[in-house]
Amino acid sequence: MIGKLSAEGIDQVLRDNVLGHIGCSDGTKVYVVPVNYAYDGHFIIAHSLPGMKIDIMRKNPSVCFEVDEIKGSNEWKSVVAWGTFQELTDERDRYYAMKIFVDRMIHLKISETAKPPELGENRVHPRSEGNIRPIIYRIVISESTGRFEN
């Protein structure tokens, strides 16, 4: 049976998972990339080094976020959310966001590229060369939908 997830079901899929896909566009090119994330009940929280994704989202903050929870070809849940990219520059906001992210990820075995960045001014992302400060951001969700099959 294929069905529509309730608002509570959508929230649960976002809370239970840590890997999603961000879709963004510069007006001519659509770019979709996987990201590790945490969901606090209000925002999708993530971080990144500077690059194409951040450049595009700074120019056009309208994004789409997608998460799948797949147990089999006939047993899955999928959520698509639309929202707005917000780069966090205030130190309190950055700290709060990364605390949520680290608290969510600390119990999981994650890849080398998904290790959370240090927060101090003189600290750097573990995958960066030199003194590049990570971009910490959130997605403010304005609309979402979800489907399932079981």
Question: Based on the structure, what is the number of domains in the chain?
Answer: 1
Tally of CA atoms within 13 A in the half-sphere of 14 that contains its CB? 25
pTM: 0.82
Bridging pattern class, strands 135-149 and 43-48? antiparallel
Give me the torsion for CA of 78, 114, 90, 63, rounded to 10°.
-30
Q: Residues 70-89: what's their mean pLDDT?
A: 97
What pLDDT digit, counting tens, does each position of 1-26 carry? 999 999 999 999 999 999 999 999 99
pLDDT of residue 23: 98
* Mean pLDDT estimate for the chain: 88
DSSP state of 44: E
What pLDDT digit, counting tens, does each position of 97-114 carry? 999 988 888 766 555 555
pLDDT of residue 130: 60
pLDDT of residue 83 exceeding 80 = yes
What pLDDT digit, counting tens, does each position of 124-134 carry? 545 556 667 78
pLDDT of residue 70 exceeding 90 = yes
Give me the percent of the chain exceeding a pLDDT of 90.
75
pLDDT of residue 105: 81
Domain limits for position 131 = 2-149
CATH number, domain of 102, equals: 2.30.110.10
